[in-house]
Structure 1
Amino acid sequence: MSDPRAFDLISERGGTVALQPVVHAKAYVVGIRALVGSANVTVNGLGWIRPGAVEILVETSAQDPA
């Protein structure tokens, strides 16, 4: 987080912030659609060989509102 004051403002509004120092974000884009998040497209990243880390992927497209 580039502005530490945001922690206080988020807290005042009832929110929480969790930092994860080892997130390695990436995007997979095909045509107008994309998956954006932290998951690797590997057998380990997909959890097919052993349980992996908690990952996040969000699907979006060029038609979604900004």
Structure 2
Amino acid sequence: VHRGSCAVYVGPEHKRFVLKTRYLQHPVFGALLQQSEEEFGYAYSGGLLIPCPVALFEYLLRLL
């Protein structure tokens, strides 16, 4: 992963996306990250998981 980017894993299939870290400051991603924390907690060591369907995540990316 390049500097200024981070990998996230989306949905039950854990599809990998590499995002610019600036996206993580967007309110939509804030809500997704909060949902992730509620579902998985902070202690999950396998990477940043986003618990939403891949199709929804791809749609949100297109809107940004």
Structure 1 length-normalised TM: 0.22
Rg comparison, structure with higher value: 1
Which of the two has greater helix per residue? 2
TM-score calculated relative to the size of structure 2: 0.22
